[in-house]
Amino acid sequence: MKLDSLMKLYVHELKDLFSAENQLVDALPKMVKAANDEDLKTAFKEHLTETEKQIQRLEKIFAQLEFEPGGHKCAGMEGLITEGEHLMKSEISPNVLDAALIAAAQRVEHYEMAGYGTARTYAEKLGRHEDADLLQETLNEEGHADQLLSRLAERRINFLAMNK
């Protein structure tokens, strides 16, 4: 598809997000397993449920467009997940791994926030206000996930990681 309009670029961004979210759905269960802190496990589990809803929102948006969600792989998310997998396989103490998993997950959330912010702005510009509302909903969830991870790190996990 030649990207010769904002509409086509919008569809490209949506496909990228769709691929990113689907990759994350596969990665999060591994992060739940790898995490040691119970609250961190819960945070990842809850974000897995949210991520499934986010995929449904993107499917809802695609249903109104004359394009299918597939056909593109998000290389950015692939790279972020690969880095997380390297950490999980490395020689690392449990508390330090938890801190590292938070760092990796926050990179993912910020990456997603950048994509959703852009897509939401394009949707508004293109007069697709229902799409914009759905994208904003997801953007808010990503922001909350990011804040929750900051709280876990700052209140306990970084402290535990200091001496191990």
| Sites of contact with Zn ion (CB under 5 A) | 16, 74, 76
CA–CA dist 150, 141 (Å, integer): 14
Rounded to a whole number of angstroms, the minimum distance from the CB of residue 45 to Fe ion is 13
CA–CA dist 123, 96 (Å, integer): 41
CA–CA dist 70, 67 (Å, integer): 9
Rounded to a whole number of angstroms, the minimum distance from the CB of residue 127 to Fe ion is 25
DSSP conformational letter for 90: S
| 129 backbone dihedrals φ, ψ, rounded to 5° | -70, -30
Residues 2-61 that bind Fe ion (CB under 5 A): 21, 51, 54
What mask of x and - would describe binding to Fe ion in positions 113 to 142, judged by CB under 5 A? Answer: -----------------------------x
Helix, strand, coil share (%) of the chain residues, nearest 5: 85, 0, 15
Residue number with the smallest Cβ distance to Zn ion: 74
Rounded to a whole number of angstroms, the minimum distance from the CB of residue 93 to Zn ion is 32
Residues near Fe ion, by CB under 5 A? 21, 51, 54, 112, 142
